[in-house]
Amino acid sequence: MTNTKNHSGKMALVTGGNRGIGLETARQLAELGFTVLIGVRDLAKGEAAASKLGGKVEPIALDVATPDAAARAAAEVERRFGRLDILVNNAAIHYDPSARALRPDWSVIREAFETNVFGAWRVAAAFAPLLGVSGHGRLVNVSSEGGSLASMGAGAPAYSTSKATLNALTRILAAELRGAGVLVNAICPGWVATDMGGPGGRPVAQGAAGIVWAATLPDDGPTGGFFRDGKRLPW
């Protein structure tokens, strides 16, 4: 899955980029030569995170759960850079494996959808015109096998239904952006040792590698698919 082409002059945006898989994805993209914006809720945290990475990485204010934030961030990127080549919708919350759908906690379910679905949706809609300008845009929705209908069972109701909806959105966006040359895929990073994943998962570098693969696909690469480690997953 290694991509060694140099991408200097191209721009990437990773939401939820100040820690975990998002931060590692930003690091790997910067290593490939991309200028990387990490979307963050707290600019001070973002600056601290960016300063730890090599390459050109800088934070941009983007709380995906705030309705106007995506449009504001897109206007800033357009004004300052005039392009976006890669968008990684990574920010997500509320992995709730011990919760049950029959005892719904509506505030958790609503918050999960606001960030994991509507957040990613608003960001995609706001940045789609800039991805179109690229001519080779790539949109990666960081999903989870927990959102796969094929393997879905009891538990994690907020998280799993939000990721299943994100997968549906991936299919629709792939179809709507096909004509603009933008490839859109959903990627499961696997179980990764982060604040969300907890201890015992695989290293972040491995989880992020599958995201970077989808973010740097060649023009004849797949679109509208669901992958982990470059291999198709059942919907």
SS3 for 18-41, per residue? CCHHHHHHHHHHHHCCCEEEEEEC
Active site residue 95: no
Site string for ligand NAP, 201-220 (x = CB under 6 A): x-------------------
189 binds ligand NAP, rule: CB under 6 A: yes
Residue with Cβ nearer ligand NAP (6 or 51): 51
Is residue 36 close enough to count as binding ligand NAP by CB under 6 A?
no
- Using the rule CB under 6 A, is 195 a contact of ligand NAP? yes
Could you tell me the end-to-end alpha-carbon distance of the chain, in angstroms, rounded to an integer? 22
**Binding of ligand NAP by 185 (CB under 6 A):** no
Select from 28-36, 79-87, 102-110, 187-195 the region that touches ligand NAP (CB under 6 A): 187-195
Q: Which of 21, 30, 156, 186 binds ligand NAP (CB under 6 A)?
A: 21
Using the rule CB under 6 A, is 41 a contact of ligand NAP? Answer: yes
* Buried b / exposed e along 15-40 (16+ C-beta atoms within 10 A): bbbbbbbbbbbbbbbbebebbbbbbb
- Please indicate whether residue 159 is annotated as part of the active site: yes
SS3 assignment, position 224 = coil
> Does 16 sit near ligand NAP (CB under 6 A)?
yes
Q: Is 34:86 a contact under the CB 8 Å cutoff?
A: yes
Closer Cβ to ligand NAP, 179 or 200, answer by number:
200
Q: What is the three-class DSSP state of 151?
A: helix
| Nearest CA among 85, 165, 92 for reference residue 132 | 85
CB atoms within 10 A of CB 148: 19
C-alpha 50/C-alpha 53 separation (Å) is: 5
Catalytic residue selected from 10, 95, 163, 231 = 163
The answer to whether residues 185 and 230 touch, using CB atoms and an 8 Å cutoff, is: no
Please identify the residue of the shown chain whose CB is closest to the bound ligand NAP. Answer: 20
Binding site residues, ligand NAP, CB under 6 A: 15-16, 18-22, 39, 41-42, 45, 62-65, 90-93, 115, 119, 142, 144, 188-189, 191-192, 194-197, 201
